[in-house]
């Protein structure tokens, strides 16, 4: 691990200002992803800004009946919150499907959204990776790609976003609140937070340099049967091959978002319009334009089968 300097921020705006003035600075909270990447020298920040003291660790009911989840709320606390379990069950289930209990105790809401891909070539510094070294190439395209993306990918990158929580929040129409260095704030729909890889896969979000996530806001509950189904290579502590977050209403309509198949949580309104016709029609709309490799083409039928199981559970 390379040497770095360290400071504790005393306000969200001060943290954003400190990071905006130093392009090699990083925020640190739980550190469950960042510290691993620093040990491998994939991330090499010269300065760390500790945001743990910013009192962004509460869950509040909003005026419109939704929830405002502080950026520093730990995944364990969020999954266990009575309001989340009652009104946003798909989110609680997604959180409990991710990582180990020890990691959930440290991992934060904002950190979960911003965690980086688990593509094996991103983690192998001996291999070219456009996400790690822009312009070096994508080893996954001709390599081991079983875990990687089939939709929303590009010739420069086929990595997937690893978060379970983000998939559920996408199905719930979550929005992200941020603060910038000049203390101005903005709200970003979760659908617009993560970038498509295009030719610049190293640019993973639409956040500006130094912009700090302060909270995630969920709209008022919409009811329905809420299900999170995760298909993985082993029963625990594994990233999704395919995951489905679903909120299905009594009339068969609903919302679905998928993980394990794209560089960001994948949701298609066109697919949701097909839900009443069944999993086959919805999966066809979800995967329109898919570009699988020989090793991960199995994900296409797996999406349909997983979605079929979710819809059957919802009907039951």
- pLDDT tier at 90, thresholds 50, 70, 90: very high
Cα–Cα dist 204/219, whole Å: 25
Token pair belonging to 29: 């909270």
What's the pLDDT tens digit per position in 27-48? Answer: 999 999 999 999 999 999 999 9
Token pair belonging to 30: 């739980």
Cα–Cα dist 213/71, whole Å: 6
Round to the nearest angstrom and report the end-to-end CA distance of the chain.
Answer: 52
> What is the mean pLDDT of the segment spanning 47-75?
98
pLDDT at residue 163 in the model: 98
Token pair belonging to 249: 């209403």
Q: Is the pLDDT of residue 217 over 80?
A: yes
What's the pLDDT tens digit per position in 160-203? Answer: 999 999 999 999 999 999 999 999 999 999 999 999 999 999 99
* Mean of pLDDT over the chain: 97
pLDDT at residue 70 in the model: 98
Token pair belonging to 316: 């039951």
- pLDDT tier at 66, thresholds 50, 70, 90: very high
pLDDT at residue 235 in the model: 85
pLDDT at residue 1 in the model: 76
Cα–Cα dist 232/214, whole Å: 31
pLDDT at residue 65 in the model: 97
- pLDDT tier at 270, thresholds 50, 70, 90: very high
pLDDT at residue 236 in the model: 82
How many other β-carbons are positioned within 10 Å of the β-carbon of residue 290?
A: 18
pLDDT at residue 253 in the model: 96
pLDDT at residue 316 in the model: 87
Threshold 0.75, pTM exceeds: yes
What's the pLDDT tens digit per position in 5-23? Answer: 999 999 999 999 999 999 9
pLDDT at residue 237 in the model: 84
What's the pLDDT tens digit per position in 123-167? Answer: 999 999 999 999 999 999 999 999 999 999 999 999 999 999 999
> What is the mean pLDDT of the segment spanning 73-100?
97
pLDDT at residue 9 in the model: 97
| Sheet strand arrangement including 242-248 | 225-231, 242-248, 254-259, 266-267
């Amino acid at each position: 691990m390379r040497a770095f300097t360290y400071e504790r921020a005393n306000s969200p705006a001060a943290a954003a200002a400190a990071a905006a003035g130093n392009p090699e600075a990083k925020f640190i909270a739980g550190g469950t992803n960042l510290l691993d990447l620093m040990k491998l020298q994939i991330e090499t920040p010269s300065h760390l800004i500790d945001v743990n003291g910013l009192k962004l660790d509460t869950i509040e009911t909003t005026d419109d009946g939704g929830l405002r989840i502080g950026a520093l709320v730990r995944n364990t606390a969020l999954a266990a919150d009575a309001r989340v379990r009652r009104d946003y069950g798909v989110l609680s289930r997604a959180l409990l499907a991710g990582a180990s209990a020890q990691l959930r105790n440290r991992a934060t809401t904002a950190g979960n959204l911003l965690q980086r891909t688990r593509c094996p070539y991103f983690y192998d510094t001996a291999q070219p990776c456009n996400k790690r070294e822009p312009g070096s190439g994508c080893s996954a395209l001709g390599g081991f790609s079983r875990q990687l993306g089939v939709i929303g990918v590009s010739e420069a990158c086929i990595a997937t976003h690893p978060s379970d929580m983000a998939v559920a929040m996408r199905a719930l129409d979550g929005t992200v609140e941020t603060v910038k260095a000049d203390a101005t704030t903005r709200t970003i729909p979760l659908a617009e937070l993560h970038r498509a890889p295009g030719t610049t896969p190293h640019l993973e979000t639409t956040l500006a340099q130094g912009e700090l996530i302060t909270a995630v806001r969920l709209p008022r509950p919409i009811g329905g049967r809420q299900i999170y189904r995760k298909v993985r290579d082993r029963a625990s502590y594994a990233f999704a091959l395919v995951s489905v977050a679903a909120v299905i209403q009594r009339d068969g309509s609903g919302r679905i978002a998928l993980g394990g198949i794209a560089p960001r949580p994948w949701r298609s309104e066109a697919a949701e319009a097909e839900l009443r016709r069944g999993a086959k029609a919805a999966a066809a709309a979800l995967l329109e334009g898919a570009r699988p490799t020989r090793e991960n083409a199995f994900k296409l039928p797996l999406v349909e089968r997983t979605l079929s199981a979710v819809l059957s559970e919802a009907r039951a």
